[in-house]
Chains A and B, each alone.
Chain A
Amino acid sequence: MFTTQLCRHLERWSARNVTRFIKHDRNICTSMSVFSNKTKQIELTRNRYPDLKKGPYADLTGQDVDYFSNLLPGRVLTDASDLEGSNTDWLGTCRGSSQLLLRPKTTDEVSKILEYCNGRKLAVVPQGGNTGLVGGSVPVFDEIIISTQLMNQIISLDDISGTLECQAGCVLAALDSYVSDSNLTMPLDLGAKGSCHIGGNLSTNAGGVRLLRYGSLHGSVLGLEAVLASGEIIDCKSTLRKDNTGYDLKQLFIGSEGTLGIITAVSILCPQKPKSVSVAFLGCESFETVLSIFKQAKHSLGEILLAFEFMDSASMDTVRDNLNLTSPVSEFPFYVLIETGGSDGKHDEEKLTAFLENQMSSGLISDGTVATESTKIANIWGLRERMAEGLMVDGYNYKYDVSLPLSKFYQLVDDMRDRVGGLATRVVGYGHVGDGNLHLNVTSPQYDEELMSLIEPFIYDWVSKYKGSISAEHGLGFKKRNFIYHSKSKSAVDLMKRMKLLMDPNGILNPYKLLPDN
């Protein structure tokens, strides 16, 4: 029940320095699981998709490498083993063969890099924390990787307005830690926070567990700076809450997954950090119960509701079996995690306790626990946030993230389970039920063509039938780009293609991503 942090504190006084509790942070687990996947030799994307051909891009030459080495001395990687991690995605499902990784420190350097690449017609992949789940952050062929790792300066924080300005390579957890000193919080939170970069969050319009409370990045981002394929720097920096002067260009870049420009700086509005946070973890007999609790929670907890997540029993089995986590409640078909927080700790706790007592007396909740201490809260969140990590242990993870009307929400999981039968190790459903966003995952020991053919396009057709989104928050990246028509009209996609052509005529920015091949 104790996190690594608490153990480290307690260990100072403990005679022995052995800790039995597994390291928690996804950052560390990234390298651990990627390492274990490396030893399994992930198939190159270009081999898995032999029909996909490299676009009209130049091949890297020694002269190119020399140019970059002069531009960014000591910040150019060419050694294959150094590039392994950046060539492979976090899930271990996509692997490229880039021979060059660049680490600029300033917007100006990014501009010079892109100007050169555009002139030479060299394709590039912008890469932040490389935690994306749709293969959008890694090369497909030999695209040059432009990493924002060294663009990690915080520029300013205005603690009255709550406006934070920083470079695109700042890690989300580091930013959250920084602003919390001024009683502020970042307006988004996700399991990858220990590794993901804010630039990447913006490029993918990341959602996360707090979207319910703070809304999407389209609302909380006040301004940004981006570099186009030509090297032209587009300055949309702003710290103003309201500014209706012309087309809101920043919205184009947010969610464009690095295909329209590379975001280099961000200004974002940070809300007040809740004075005290409480988390309730409840067991539910059915999915209908989950929805009833959601309705009641909105009614009774309203403005102090921070997050509302659910997981099914298969998800609980995953984190229990694969990560040795313990459930605070007994076995149930479904579990709900409710987080509340506001400006008056005592008042919020009373509200939550009253809500829970009411639901218990009415029989809606059969079992659950409530936590206000940071360790317990972290542990309960761990059951939900470490799901992706837990699923990886099974081997290969077929990961889907869809938006569906709540009336049809869990049916997809049941239908998928019936369809794949014994071919899959497990089929789990969990996610941001409060936002109508389901994370459906299937696992098997290794990549299985037959299993994949059962899953796709079945899942996309199913979602399309109920007018849902085939990708609620993960984006399209490489893996889902060809299913865009399941959720967007032809007219919309055509306009997207025209805009891409306008802003990146040579198509060097993150090719084979987001837009469909046809």
Chain B
Amino acid sequence: MSAYRVLVGCKRVIDYAVKIRVKPDKLGVVTDGVKHSMNPFDEIAIEEAIRLKEKKLASEVVAFSCGPTASQETLRTAMAMGADRAIHVEIDGKEAETLQPIHVAKLLSKVAQEEKIDIIMLGKQAIDDDCNQTAQMTASLLNWPQATFASKIENDNGSFKVTREIDGGLETIKVKLPAVISADLRLNEPRYATLPNIMKAKKKPLAKKKPSDYGVEVKAHQQVLKVEDPPVRQAGQKLETVEDLVVKLKDGGFV
């Protein structure tokens, strides 16, 4: 059984706890000076890749991110968790705003071919755009099998047995490698990066590339017309007694 080479995609997104503010021009959200971190599902993907390495199923874990320079922080975090090296495809701020899963999928597939990757691990979706498309598109471009919403991965002699979380419950499928896997919430609990590893990560190789290095165009296909706040929640009514509640329910035709 040979050891696999794993490519993990990670995206730098606005930290989930930040209060999102719509820009005055209503064409996007405020990102300047706002706290960013690695997409939580991508953290889970990295963790799974590292665990494969610890089980000696993987020989190398390569972290990948496309975006502005700050994405390198995300890659350093990935390496602090245990990834061996990183590839950063630099896309400037303006273009990064209009970057779509199809662009990322094209880049991922080119990188996978160049680096002779066996497994591509991605988070199932990014918490800023909620697209849930990159893994599926990448698999299609490479003509590889895909196992999305993975909540458990088991090795099965050259294939993987993956349990997927689907609407009806759990589905277990067998995928032959090479394959694309997207991580769901319950796949694992990501580890903390320890100080010694954080320090080591600074010395790990981080390759800086451009989309043109892979022959991929990242021109925008879509134009954002409007970004709006969700409608303000109507205040509820506080009632003093159960009798009041019954009256209100009757008035509203609910009972």
Binding site for B on A (CB under 8 A): 1-2, 5-7, 9-11, 13-16, 20, 73-75, 181, 275-276, 280-282, 326, 328-329, 345, 353, 356-357, 360, 365, 367-376
Given contacts A13-B130, A367-B196, contact A20 B186 (CB under 8 A): yes
In angstroms, Cα B35 to Cα A454, docked, is 51
Complex contact B194–A14 (CB within 8 A)? no
**Which B residues touch A181, using CB under 8 A?**
19
**Which A residues touch B194, using CB under 8 A?**
328-329, 367-369
Q: What's the A-B contact tally at a CB cutoff of 8 Å? A: 89
Which listed residue, B40, B166, B185, B198, touches A370 by the CB 8 Å rule? Answer: B198
Shortest CB–CB separation between residue A21 and chain B, in angstroms? 9
Which listed residue, B18, B192, B195, B199, touches A376 by the CB 8 Å rule? Answer: B192
Q: From A371, which residue of chain B is reached at the shortest CB distance? A: B192
In angstroms, Cα B189 to Cα A243, docked, is 53
Given contacts A369-B194, A370-B195, contact A10 B15 (CB under 8 A): no
- Which of A75, A328, A360, A373 has the most CB atoms of chain B within a 10 A radius of its CB? A373
**Which B residues touch A367, using CB under 8 A?**
194-196
In angstroms, Cα B167 to Cα A370, docked, is 37
Which listed residue, A1, A5, A11, touches B189 by the CB 8 Å rule? Answer: A1
**Which B residues touch A2, using CB under 8 A?**
40, 185, 189
In angstroms, Cα B195 to Cα A365, docked, is 9
**Which A residues touch B38, using CB under 8 A?**
373
Contact sample, A vs B, 8 pairs, CB 8 Å cutoff: A6-B17, A6-B40, A14-B165, A367-B194, A369-B192, A370-B193, A374-B15, A374-B17
B184 within 8 A of A: yes
In angstroms, Cα B127 to Cα A374, docked, is 15
Q: From A280, which residue of chain B is reached at the shortest CB distance? A: B195
Complex contact A372–B130 (CB within 8 A)? no
Complex contact B165–A356 (CB within 8 A)? no
Shortest CB–CB separation between residue B68 and chain A, in angstroms? 15
- Which of A15, A282, A326, A375 has the most CB atoms of chain B within a 10 A radius of its CB? A15
Interface residues in B18-40 by Cβ distance below 8 A to A read 18-19, 33, 35, 37-38, 40
**Which A residues touch B124, using CB under 8 A?**
13
Shortest CB–CB separation between residue A244 and chain B, in angstroms? 39
**Which A residues touch B169, using CB under 8 A?**
16
Complex contact B195–A16 (CB within 8 A)? no
In angstroms, Cα B130 to Cα A369, docked, is 30
Complex contact A374–B199 (CB within 8 A)? no
**Which B residues touch A16, using CB under 8 A?**
165, 169
In angstroms, Cα B149 to Cα A510, docked, is 57
In angstroms, Cα B241 to Cα A372, docked, is 46
In angstroms, Cα B37 to Cα A356, docked, is 21
Complex contact B192–A15 (CB within 8 A)? no
In angstroms, Cα B115 to Cα A435, docked, is 54
Complex contact B130–A373 (CB within 8 A)? no
Shortest CB–CB separation between residue A256 and chain B, in angstroms? 32
In angstroms, Cα B190 to Cα A328, docked, is 10
- Which of A5, A16, A353, A356 has the most CB atoms of chain B within a 10 A radius of its CB? A16
Complex contact B195–A369 (CB within 8 A)? yes
Excluding A369-B192, A373-B15, 6 further A-B contacts by CB distance (< 8 Å) are: A1-B189, A2-B189, A360-B195, A369-B193, A373-B37, A374-B16
In angstroms, Cα B196 to Cα A280, docked, is 13
In angstroms, Cα B132 to Cα A73, docked, is 54
In angstroms, Cα B194 to Cα A377, docked, is 14
Which listed residue, A20, A326, A365, A375, touches B16 by the CB 8 Å rule? Answer: A375
**Which B residues touch A368, using CB under 8 A?**
194-195
Query: Which 10 pairs across A and B sit closest by C-beta, in order of nearness?
Result: A328-B192, A374-B17, A373-B37, A74-B240, A369-B192, A368-B195, A15-B165, A1-B189, A10-B185, A15-B167
In angstroms, Cα B130 to Cα A181, docked, is 26
Complex contact B17–A375 (CB within 8 A)? yes
Complex contact A360–B199 (CB within 8 A)? yes
Given contacts A370-B195, A374-B16, contact A13 B125 (CB under 8 A): yes
Q: From A357, which residue of chain B is reached at the shortest CB distance? A: B199
**Which A residues touch B127, using CB under 8 A?**
9-10
In angstroms, Cα B40 to Cα A368, docked, is 22
**Which B residues touch A1, using CB under 8 A?**
189-192
Complex contact B185–A11 (CB within 8 A)? yes
Complex contact B35–A374 (CB within 8 A)? yes
In angstroms, Cα B234 to Cα A178, docked, is 19
Which listed residue, A276, A356, A374, touches B195 by the CB 8 Å rule? Answer: A356
Q: From A374, which residue of chain B is reached at the shortest CB distance? A: B17
In angstroms, Cα B163 to Cα A430, docked, is 42
Complex contact A276–B35 (CB within 8 A)? yes
Shortest CB–CB separation between residue B34 and chain A, in angstroms? 10
In angstroms, Cα B185 to Cα A204, docked, is 42
Shortest CB–CB separation between residue A57 and chain B, in angstroms? 30
In angstroms, Cα B184 to Cα A374, docked, is 20
In angstroms, Cα B36 to Cα A345, docked, is 12
**Which B residues touch A356, using CB under 8 A?**
195
In angstroms, Cα B40 to Cα A2, docked, is 9
**Which A residues touch B191, using CB under 8 A?**
1, 328
- Which of A10, A328, A375 has the most CB atoms of chain B within a 10 A radius of its CB? A10
**Which B residues touch A74, using CB under 8 A?**
240-241
**Which B residues touch A369, using CB under 8 A?**
192-195, 198
In angstroms, Cα B38 to Cα A373, docked, is 9
In angstroms, Cα B32 to Cα A240, docked, is 35
